[in-house]
Amino acid sequence: MNLLHLVHTDENAHSRILCRLLQYPGSEQTYPFALLFVERFISVALAKKIKDCEQDPSFVLKIAAEENRIDVQLFMRGVAGIIVENKIEGAVDQPRQLERYIQRMQERGIKSPYIVYLTWNGIKTISPDSLSLEKQEKMLQTGHLVKLSYQFDLIPWLKEQILPQCPYGQQQLIAALEQYIEYLEFRSGLRPQDSAINQAVYRAFCEQFITEK
């Protein structure tokens, strides 16, 4: 039984789950899952820079959820600022929302922060009221705006990279990831049993349609 099917999992809950996953610690105060996220979706060079700086105790990678109203953020002073805006449930963009988040990162010394705009299936677009079309285009060209979806990006990442990287013996982590992946696949209809059920429903509909004719 997957308890995620029984509780209300809103955008804040999904943000907290992603944040806790990125916060998973490796050896010597490193965050291997966060580095895999940056490497796969943002920049290999940035991931390497963060990894190199982690060896210096004066650099600390801070990963937080719902701080200063930002869903998830990764921040290393003078090195990187990444804003994850979670729109899995299609919440409406607020006026100047992303503009404000960028400004907050710049006030902390990050001249060109990255924005990850995370939706369910990639259909939802960023409102120009939240971030002007001109700035969106510029950030897309420089790689500082990344558009991701749970259905086509996060699920494969979790299955192909994160789950295989879980240390043997971390059964709670593995079980939690497996349940979360199953929950997301159920929502997207990617589970094999869902496909079989859909096919059975379709066949029954066709048979009923033919009988009625």
Rounded mean pLDDT, 154-167? 95
User: In this predicted structure, which of 98-102, 114-118, 204-208 has the lowest mean pLDDT?
Assistant: 204-208
Q: Give the DSSP H/E element, type plus range, for residue 206.
A: helix 192-212
Rounded mean pLDDT, 48-52? 94
Rounded mean pLDDT, 179-208? 70
Question: What is the dihedral angle through the alpha carbons of 128, 184, 15, 111, rounded to the nearest 10 degrees?
Answer: -50
Is the Cβ–Cβ distance between 98 and 136 less than 8 Å? no
Q: How many CB atoms neighbour CB 93 within 10 A?
A: 18
Q: What is the pLDDT of residue 193?
A: 63
Rounded mean pLDDT, 44-67? 93
Beta bridge partners of 72: 65, 84
Number of domains the chain contains: 1
Q: What is the pLDDT of residue 209?
A: 45
Q: State which amino acid sits at residue 184.
A: L
Rg (CA), the chain: 20
% of the chain beyond a pLDDT of 90? 75
Q: What is the pLDDT of residue 201?
A: 52
Q: What is the pLDDT of residue 202?
A: 42
Check whether 210 has a pLDDT greater than 70: no
Check whether 206 has a pLDDT greater than 70: no
Rounded-to-integer distance, Cα 116 and Cα 96, Å: 16
pLDDT tier at 24 (50, 70, 90 boundaries)?
very high
Which has the closest alpha carbon to 126: 89, 118, 100, 18?
118
Structural domain containing residue 186: 3-212
pLDDT tier at 27 (50, 70, 90 boundaries)?
confident
Q: What is the pLDDT of residue 153?
A: 97
